[in-house]
Structure 1
């Protein structure tokens, strides 16, 4: 198989959809000598902020000369970035090799068990564990959970530390439609005698996480209780225990990014205190401050101003709006919007309306993408227009400011088709 054959085979698993549960993963990994138990892994879950938090930890560790693997989703620019080493995607040849290892095992799963066919996400997750557990062992692997935690494909290893970045109402059709339901699912990231660092704002969800930590004898480290973030314009001060880090300035914009960075710093300090790492704090801070993360409030053009952001639920839309107002000082912008099915599109658009001058609605090539007509039916707004060719629209846009948002999958397509 060549690279394109390998990608086609992986993507073909998409038709099997989302099938919660870890039994297929456990079966396949057992056939592959359980590589998931051979990694020094950090598990990162949450509704929003996972990717950024992974990036902060990875950058700080790499800056301290550690070899760091990461597993993230979805991809923004290249499929291979989902499995990365020191911030660089694995090569095409490495991906082909991984498919050749995992494909026979996934085929045996179908023949030898009644567990059904492995999904795309299960295949990629298995490939990641094989890569970092067998083929290319590293000092640390930072594993971002996919959908929820309890029944997620990543929930099959024994982490040295866990992080829960947030709990919001997303994927409610699968995880449940209340904060408590979602907290019970994502709270499964808490493991026995393993530190859990979390940022949970909803009181009911917070009770669930605190209870899980207590039941598991897990050291619970909570934002706004144990960790303090004092924001002062672009800068912020971080406090935890006897640590105080002042005048931190991130490349990543938004108050939410200061909180994500605070979780990452806490994780690093905990690893340092446990003797798992030996950190130069200046290198750690330099690494965190230098992080950029594609598709997250990313300024892609200055004249006219264009920002792309993968906001795909109410909480991330709120963070986007706050950043547009607080950092760019814009009261009105044009919005180019597209989304996938199952998202609270009406609420997302209602939130965006106060800052929207013109709303442009489009659709993109993705199995779960909504049609532009269905999106338009979700909102009553005078200044809205349906756009057939979003790439041409972006290239010919001549307004004062355009925000392109609604879905990380949409952002990925935009970056592939438009040369900013």
Structure 2
């Protein structure tokens, strides 16, 4: 009998563990290091085995976390979610643009770029891209930063015309915004963001204090609740901002996935009070640290001056590659592909919810399912289950109330099965 190689032993061990439910659906596999120690093999051997299992749809990877067990084929096979890496096609196309950028463009490698606003070609490309999405700006209003975090950091540091100091943030909200406030001990106020929006009367009370420097909000596909403001709500918020001269920082990080291309705060703004932020890291892949921000003239000079302190210039190779990627319509091609995948997954999610009727309110997200746990008395049971669930702990500045949970696409079916048993 042929002796199995270390690679084959690792593959068989993990497959057996998954099929026997030693590693249940949604659970995290042992680390690469621990497996390599158990089998006395190299980490490369383990990584190769994990890639094989990922290819065979046994597992999926979660950035900076590890590998998790996928729902296996069952009698509900026709209801399987389309577990595709939505960034793979974009990555392959972008790599072509990077290669093209490196050919005959040594000036991007050996020279500094004096314009802190970012590469002119890319700013022109982004302006055209945004114009097609009804987000209008002049070229001199656009500034490129090394990710959204840098943009938010600079906004938190510079003075605004009102000289106010406190930042108003929704709760829950983007976890890095919370980290920014806490790490710098910045003064802030909070307003509750619910699955149906915010209380406009409460918002006005915050604005009336005269202490608000800017209001940070995620109008479309709010992170983490998935809610989007209606046009009526946006106009009402803008009216309050104009009344009290409060700037709105609009983080439109998932705007590309809005099939209706709803109107933004920036589009509706008539008073130059909206700062619009668009992240290309979210649209393409996380390692692409390029964000575009549209700045009102009143704060642009101070913003660019402060940016000059942080970095002399952005990565010119990546900026030029992104410019090529946008101009060659590859960005639009992959945006439409993601919309198609999102639409199919939304339909499959609804089928799954219908096939496992539970009493908990649920809301489809672009990358999973949101469950409302406010009427669920067994939260501790769900929290300590082997399922890979997100309770949004880092999205709250205070104690997480555990009112909502996000179920990733890969484990929706397993979670609904679990809840159906628990709620029976």
Q: TM-score, structure 2 length as denominator?
A: 0.30
Asked which structure has the greater RCO (Cα within 8 Å, sep 6+), the reply is 2
Instruction: Using structure 1 for the length normalisation, give the TM-score.
Output: 0.30
Pair member with larger Rg = 2
Greater strand share, structure number: 1
